Each structure stands twice: as C-alpha cells, then as structure tokens.
Structure 1
Amino acid sequence: MNKMLLTILAVVILDAAGTGLVLPILPELLQSVAHTPDLGWRYGAFLSLYAALQFLAAPILGTLSDRYGRRPVLLVSLAGGMVDYAFMAWAPGFWWLFLGRAVAGLTAANASVAAACLTDITPDEKRTRAFGLLSACFGIGFILGPAIGGLLGTFSLRAPFVAAGVLVMMNFILALIALPETRVEKPAHIDAAAFHPLAPLRWLGAFPALLPLLFLSVILNIVGQIGGTVWVLYSQDKFGWDTAAVGLSLACMGLLHALAQAFVAGPLSERWGERRALIVAIVCDSAAYIAIALVTRSFITVLLLPLFCLSAMGGIGQPTLLSLMTQRVGADDQGRLQGVLGSLTSLASIIAPLAVSEIYFASRYDFPGLIWILGALLYVTCVPVLFTLRKKTAGA
C-alpha cells in the first residue's frame, strides 16, 4: 500500500472520528449556550443548517476540485472544520455556534474530495477494493469517535470539541505535508451548470421507471433521520444515560451497521432477492422503532441495537435499494443516477431534522416515543411500491 493511499485513508479515519466525537455531547452544549432544556426548533435548525449549506456548496467544491486540484479544496475544507470546532469549544452564545456550523457546511468536502483523490490514483480494476478500504476506514473512525467523545464529555462539556478540533488540525497537517496533488489533468474551462445544486434534480424526468424506487429512497432517508436526530436526547431523557453511555451505544451501533452491511446485506439479497431483503429491512426497522418507543428498561434498548442495525437505512435496506436502482439504469446513466440520489438525500437531511426535533420537543414530556411511532407508520407509504415491485418481478 503506497504512501499516498495511506494518507488518504488516514484523512478519512480522522475526519469520521472528529465527526463522531461531538455527537454524544452536542445536545448538552446547545442547551448550555441557549440556557434552556427545550431546544425546540434550535436543535433541528442546527443540524439542518450544515446539510443545507453543504447541499449548496458541494457542487461548487466538487467542480473547483476538478478544475484547480483536490489538495487545495481539501485543505480549505479542513480549515473550515477547524473553525467550526473552535467555535463549539469556545462559543459563549447560541448564534456563535450557528456561525461556526455555517462555515463548516460551506467548506464541507473532506469525504468527497478524499474519494476523488482515491479515484485519481487507483486504476479501474482496483477501485472496488480501494473504495471498500475507504468505507472501512470511515466505519473505524465513526466507531472510535462517539466512544471517545462520550468518555471525554463526562469530564468536560467542551473537551470533545477540543479533541475534534485537534483531530482536524492533525488532518490538515497530514494533508499539507504528505498529500501531493492527485489531479494531473485539469479542464481548461468549467461549465456554469456544474455549480447549480439543483441540477441533478432536473434529471428526475430521465428516470420515470425509477420514480417509485426513488420515493422509497426518500422515505428511508427521512425515517433514518429520526434516529440521527433524537437518539442522544431520547436515551438521556428516558433512560438517564450519561454521555459515556450514549457514546458507547453510538459506537456499538456503528460497529453493528458495518457488520450488517458487510456480512448480511449481500447474502440476504442473493438468497431471497432484493425485494424480500428490502421488506426484511423495513419490518426490522419498524419493529425496532415501535419497541424503543414503548420499552421502559434501558437494557432492553441495548438488546434492540442489532435490530436497528438490520434497518432500512443503515444496514441492509439502502444498499439493497441502490442495487435495485442501478440494475434498472444503463452504464451511461449511473453517474446521473448517483447525482439524483445525492440531491434527494441532502434534501431529506435538511428538512427531516427540523420536523423531527419539533415533534420530539412538543411531545417530550407527554409521550417521548411518539416520533419513533410516527417513523414506523411512515413505512406504510412504502407498501404500494413494494406491491408494484412484486408485480413487475412476477411479470419479468
């Protein structure tokens, strides 16, 4: 394994660990600087702000990396991350946190630029293995990050953000010293349309046969946002978990998700078919959501983690759905399809946290499990599409 590849993989591990570090402590920090236990719209807006600005900036950063090189864009992105964590470690007021998050969202391109660097230096026949390593490194970072962040949070509210900032600074220094430019041939001109964040959505009309599957993808992403938005809040409110317990639960979930994707999704789809594998994922996710809404003992929640990790979004559902879609699209349209999926995922990441946090804080004291029940009910809208898939499969 060459030095450049090792550097790229190290950048991904450190980036994922830095992101995971702050998750267990983020709600407590926002409550501290907002001076209220009921964050309401603030929590959802904080999560959505990053996704919204990343949605606007990602096409610009990607195009600039094609034109001017990966290295400068990666360095700018890492610098933005340092600014964000510095604000979170220092910010005396709520709006200072928003300002730092805005800078991070506008410059967020670490993972995408790392993937582009990997594409630049890897021959076609070895890319599958290289991207497998990239995914594994992201998983390693996201397993370590929440565990470390949760433990640090028991000592100091700001310590995880300081640690995350140090990791990003190490990332910056590593890229500055050890990562040369990987983009050798650069285009002379840039198409102005490439800067438009909504451009991929214009391609929806090119895939009329895929619209039901794209609808499924949106539902899976919205439901998946529920856990990402309220897991920390819910586990602290209902079960009294401290930041260390929350961090360890997130680390365990990351590990189980990785195992499900590596060892369950593929064999299950091959043995039962993609449609049945997708149904299994939705049923498991629905059961987990209903169960966690009703349980009263924290140890039962721990027992539910494997069920969550066979989920529609994180475990076997999304990879299976992606396989179904790519099989129905020709080789020339695969890139366009990925652009559409990326835009739909980004939009879900913008809208869902706002709605989820509003519902959670409105029902927090009466029935905190309401948001989980609503997530399970949302899967009912998938039934007609799954029935359509069965008819098409039977007629094939």
Structure 2
Amino acid sequence: MTNTQITGGKRQAALGFIFVTAIMDVLSLGVMIPVLPNLVKAFGGGDTAAAADWNVLFATTWGVMQFFCSPILGLMSDRFGRRPVILTSIFGLGVDFLFMAFAPNLWWLFVGRIFNGMTAASFATAGAYVADVTTPENRAKGFGLMGAAFGIGFTFGPALGGWLWNVDHRAPFLVCAALALCNWLYGFFVLPESLPPERRQPRFDWKKANPLGSLQLLRRHPGLLGLAGVGFLFQLAHNVLPSVFVLYMGFRYNWGPDTVGLTLMASGISSIIIQGLVVGPAVRKLGERGALLVGLFSGFAGFTIYALAPTGLVYLCGLPIFAFSGLIQPGLQGLMTRRVAPNEQGQLQGANAALMGIASMIGPSLFLLPFAFAVRHDATLHMPGLPVLIAASLMLMATLLAWAKAKPAPTLEPQAA
C-alpha cells in the first residue's frame, strides 16, 4: 500500500474518522480542566495551597503511568495496528471516568488517575494514524487538523465542565464517561485500520517497549534527539496549564469554574482559528522549521503576558498571541515523522508520549510547588504568576534549541519486516 495525499479517496475519509475520534476524546478531557482541581479543593476543605499539593501527587502519578505504558501501547500499535490500541484506550478512559464519578474521597480519585494514566494513549496513537494516512509533504497539515480537534475539544469542554460543575459536582465525570463510550462505539463501527499487516512490526519486542528502549529510537535517527528535546521542553512548559491555571485564575482574578471555562473556550476558539486557517499557509510559506519557531516564540510571549497580567482584561490580551503556539505541534511532528520509517511511527509516538510522561512527572512539582509558595507568601512576594514565568523560560529555551536543531531531513522509506 502506498501513501496518497490527504485530499484523496479513502485516506481523506480515514483522516476524517480519526479527526472525529480525537474531538470526542479531547472534549472529555477538556471537561475535566475546570472540574478536577476544584473537586480536589472541595475534598480538601477549600484550601488552595493544599489543593496545589494534592494536584502535584495526582499529576505526577499520571505522568509515571504515561512514562511506563505509552511505549508499550505505541509499539503494540506498530505490531497489531492502530485501531485496537485506540479502541482499548478509549474504553479504559470511559471506565476511569465512571470510577472517578463515584469516588467518595481523594484517595479514590487518586486510584482513578492511575488507571487514567495507564490508558490515556489514544491521542498519541492517533498521531501515528495521521502519519499512516498522509504523505510527508501533507503531514504537517494533517497534524494541524489534529490540533484543530484538540482546539475544538478544549473550546467546548471546559465551558461544558464549568456549567456541569454548577449543576452537580459528579455530573462532569458522568458526561465524560458517556462521551468516551460514544467515542468507543463510533470507533468500533466506523474507524478503519490505517496500518496494513505488511507494514507492521514482525514481532513485539519488549526491549523496545520499555521506556528506555523506546527512547533509544530517538538516538538511532540523525537529528531526532534534538527535536525530541524541543518537544520535551514544550511539553514541560505546557504542563503549567493543567497544573496551575485553574487555581491561578481563581486566586489572582477571583474567577469561578464557569468563568475559567469560558476563558478556556476563548483560548480554544483562537487555537481553532490558527489550526484551521494559519497552519497550512504558514507551513507552505515558512516551512515546518519556520512554523515551529514562530509557534515556540509565540508561546513564550503568551506565557509572559499571562504571568505578569495584573488584571483579567490584560490576561485576555495574551490569548491571541498564545494561540500561535498552535503552530508548534504540526511543525515539530512534520519534522520528526520524516525521520522514521512507516513501521516505526507508533514507536515514535510512544517515545514522544514517554517524554510527555516525564514532563508530567516533573511539571506538577515544578509549577505547583512554586505556586503554593507564592500563594502562602503573597502578602510579601506579590508574584502568583511565578510558575507561569518558569513556563515562559522553558519556551524560550525550546525556541533556541529549535533554532539550532530543527533542520529539514529526507523521508525514510518503509523498512523491511
């Protein structure tokens, strides 16, 4: 089977299927953004600093599970196909949401986050799916479409989550479970397989499936390790959003879950505009490297505004600037997927997810502990945006690394099984 452009025939349909699957997946996760930190805070008696400490434990545990499980699922998708891995992940996500919906205390929520981290690989496997059904020249556009799905999910998800929270604190989890189940049914009956048997790995190798073995892939291909470093710094900086922002906006601007949800909705709309209207022209004009650099610098500028904004209105002025960070993933994924063979795309996405797991392990402590310190000493420090400034510094480091390492590369042909 040969690649065709994403504008052609069955592969256009396949990309549409995975786009809908990604939207429903991210929508369920988006609902959780304004909900889970506030539920943790409610269980903890309303203490913001204590909620930040608990969220460190929750997010770090989720990252540990991602680190160990994502390489396994990535290699499984190379060996057995993308479809069964995606379906298994989505079904597990639905069970996790049901578990958390009826959690009577923080420790039950903690167990739910463990299982969530173990199964939350559907979006990473979807990245390998996109690489399967697009040509290298159109791959950034395909990943831009996935970014648009991400934006749509995080546009309507947080607003829905904030509204459901006001109805009932358990309702968001039940709705997310229903979304995951609908997503699973959609995938089961509609989603086709993208990786034919002749292009799969001949066997499942546990040496490649462990995190260190998976990360060795990044060293085997020239230039891939530097790009992975860019992705790691970006993911680490991006961890400030789920780790801190709900608590940060509530503390600094006195915004409740509904206002936070609407703010995240505005951010998502900005992202959709960038992904839908800007990614394609930007990649054509600037190339994947140029789009990546513009996206990284925009993320640095946006985070800086978020950290220093004294009022909610000034904070909102940073939204359209930060939206251009939507160029990062299409440019970065386009550059990285060119450097590996078709039967290594799942392993690549598993390695990327493992790095995201490491970032998720480090990120909560890196951002929440300074935030808790800043809150406790706000009367003298006056810097609740300290963790966001740390994220801005990481984005600047990623920009400089990308300037040095993000070079074009020839596309590899399929390797013999």
TM-score tier, shorter chain, comes to: 0.7 to 0.9
Gapped regions of structure 2 (runs ≥ 5): 1-8, 409-417
- Residue 78 of structure 1 is aligned with which of 90, 107, 130? 90
1:8-19 equivalences in 2 (<5 Å) = 8-19=18-29
User: Equivalent residue for 1:216?
Assistant: 230
Contact kept? 1:256, 1:309, Cα under 8 Å: yes
Show CA shifts across 1:271-300 (max 9, x none).
Answer: 567666555444433333333223222122
User: Equivalent residue for 1:257?
Assistant: 271
- Residue 374 of structure 1 is aligned with which of 379, 382, 390? 390
Contact kept? 1:48, 1:353, Cα under 8 Å: yes
User: Equivalent residue for 1:149?
Assistant: 161
**TM-score of the superposition, structure 1-length normalised?**
0.80
User: Equivalent residue for 2:368?
Assistant: 357
Show CA shifts across 1:63-113 (max 9, x none).
Answer: 445555655544432332122212222111111011111112222233345
Contact kept? 1:326, 1:334, Cα under 8 Å: no
Contact kept? 2:147, 2:329, Cα under 8 Å: no
Contact kept? 1:84, 1:103, Cα under 8 Å: yes
Q: CA deviation at 1:198?
A: 2.0
- CA 1:59/1:160 → structure 2, altered by over 3 Å: closer, same or farther? same
User: Equivalent residue for 1:52?
Assistant: 64
Q: CA deviation at 1:342?
A: 4.1
1:95-134 equivalences in 2 (<5 Å) = 95-114=107-126, 134=146
Aligned positions, number: 387
- CA 1:81/1:294 → structure 2, altered by over 3 Å: closer, same or farther? same
SS at match of 2:51: coil
Gapped regions of structure 1 (runs ≥ 5): none
Whole-angstrom CA distance in 2 between matches of 1:159 and 1:379: 36
1:234-383 equivalences in 2 (<5 Å) = 234-265=248-279, 267-268=281-282, 271=285, 280-311=294-325, 315-322=326-333, 329=339, 335=345, 340-365=351-376, 366=378, 367-379=383-395, 381=397
Whole-angstrom CA distance in 2 between matches of 1:298 and 1:229: 19
**TM-score of the superposition, structure 2-length normalised?**
0.77
- Residue 89 of structure 1 is aligned with which of 101, 110, 125? 101
Whole-angstrom CA distance in 2 between matches of 1:119 and 1:276: 20
- CA 1:99/1:303 → structure 2, altered by over 3 Å: closer, same or farther? same
1:177-188 equivalences in 2 (<5 Å) = 185=197
CA RMSD of aligned residues (A): 3.9
- CA 1:25/1:65 → structure 2, altered by over 3 Å: closer, same or farther? same
Whole-angstrom CA distance in 2 between matches of 1:125 and 1:385: 23
Whole-angstrom CA distance in 1 between matches of 2:220 and 2:64: 25
Contact kept? 1:40, 1:362, Cα under 8 Å: no
Contact kept? 2:52, 2:368, Cα under 8 Å: yes
SS at match of 2:371: helix
Query: Residue 143 of structure 1 aligns to which amino acid in structure 2?
Result: T
Work out the percentage of aligned pairs sharing the same amino acid: 34
Whole-angstrom CA distance in 1 between matches of 2:15 and 2:292: 34
Whole-angstrom CA distance in 1 between matches of 2:135 and 2:251: 49
Whole-angstrom CA distance in 2 between matches of 1:110 and 1:324: 21
Contact kept? 1:275, 1:389, Cα under 8 Å: no
Whole-angstrom CA distance in 2 between matches of 1:333 and 1:166: 33
User: Equivalent residue for 2:411?
Assistant: none
SS at match of 1:364: helix
